[in-house]
Amino acid sequence: MHKSRLWLLYTAINTVFVGVWGAFIEIPEKAGFPATLGYIVWTLTMLPCAIVALRIVDWKLEHTPRDIFLGAMVGLLGAGGQLILFQALRIGPAYILFPLIALFPLLTILLSVAFLGETCSRRQWLGIGVALLAAFFLAFQPGQNKQVQGYTWLIMAMLVFVMWATQGFVMKFANNRMKAESIFFYMTVSSVLLVPAAIGMTDFSRTINWGWKGVGLAVPIHLLNAIGALMLVYALRYGKAIIVIPLTSLSSVITVILSLIIYGVVPDAVLTAGLLLAAVAIFILSE
């Protein structure tokens, strides 16, 4: 495949893998394997992916202070945002949190246009706008009767929004200055460094499923996300952040479709609109 189209291949792989991950991740969690321990499993599945990436470049890891800083920033922004989201979901309403955070590509686009000088055609801008609208609809959840006190959860949600948006920008910024394989290696190491925080957030007073339906299923499921993360780094090596990030956010299309099949649910008007808008955005941006 021509290098100018490699970004689309890697973006597609990321979108599919992360989408499948999103659909199945609830299975081990509902079986009694907490999301915080799932985070630890995810970091462990990142390790073989990092080894494969380094093998591709004959173990030539870039190690200047700048390289280490940029790679570590990518990992800490992404993984740190995930841990903060876990806590936000404990005290805040998911039906507000997810649609809000789903719009993080907006900030990535602004940063990339302002500081990386990225530009698009009118057609691509239209596709980006449709993709963002689709992401919002797909992340929307019906209101719940959950008692919410204070605004700490909202502050956390905004922090996740900023961290994930900045991660995409930094990942592209780093790709312009170092190898994608080195970025992923430092991204992995920094994610592993947050394992103690995940352990501290875990409620060990509850029964944890260490069997096949718990940790056993979590391993292959999180491996999908780890591979997807590597594909995202490669996608941003060849593609523009203002296009790649909105497209990868549509992984929720795969998640929604699979979840509807698994749980036998008929999509409501909001989900249907999101799916249709996502199809339009993918058509526009893949041209």
Longest dimension (CA), the chain: 55
Where does residue 206 fall: left (phi above 0), alpha (psi -120 to 50 degrees), or beta otherwise? beta
Distance, CA of 280 to chain centre? 21
Q: Residue 186 to residues 3, 67, 207, 254: CA-CA distances in angstroms?
A: 25, 9, 34, 29
- Among 117, 165, 109, 146, which Cα is nearest to 285's? 109
Residue 17: what pLDDT?
Answer: 97
Enter the tokens of residue 6. 């490699």
Residue 151: what pLDDT?
Answer: 81
Cα 112 to Cα 125: distance, rounded to the nearest angstrom: 14
Residue 197: what pLDDT?
Answer: 96
Residue 3: what pLDDT?
Answer: 57
Residue 268: what pLDDT?
Answer: 84
Residue 226: what pLDDT?
Answer: 97
Q: Residue 46 to residues 75, 101, 173: CA-CA distances in angstroms?
A: 11, 24, 22
- Among 209, 231, 256, which Cα is nearest to 102's? 256
pTM for the full model? 0.92
Residue 146: what pLDDT?
Answer: 55
Residue 260: what pLDDT?
Answer: 86
- Among 38, 36, 85, 42, which Cα is nearest to 202's? 36
Task: Give residue 245's domain range.
Answer: 3-142+149-285
Cα 255 to Cα 198: distance, rounded to the nearest angstrom: 24
- How many independent structural domains does the chain possess? 1
Q: At what angle do helices 241-248 and 152-175 cross, to 10 degrees?
A: 130
Eight-state DSSP code of residue 239 = S
Cα 248 to Cα 156: distance, rounded to the nearest angstrom: 23
Please report which residue ranges of the chain form alpha helices under DSSP H: 3-24, 26-30, 35-56, 65-91, 94-101, 105-115, 122-139, 152-175, 180-192, 195-201, 217-238, 241-248, 251-263, 269-285
Residue 144: what pLDDT?
Answer: 58
Residue 264: what pLDDT?
Answer: 80
Cα 233 to Cα 227: distance, rounded to the nearest angstrom: 10
Residue 141: what pLDDT?
Answer: 73
User: Mean pLDDT in each 10-residue stretch from start to end of the chain (287 residues)?
Assistant: 78 95 92 95 97 96 96 97 92 83 93 94 92 90 62 91 96 96 97 97 94 96 97 96 93 89 82 90 82
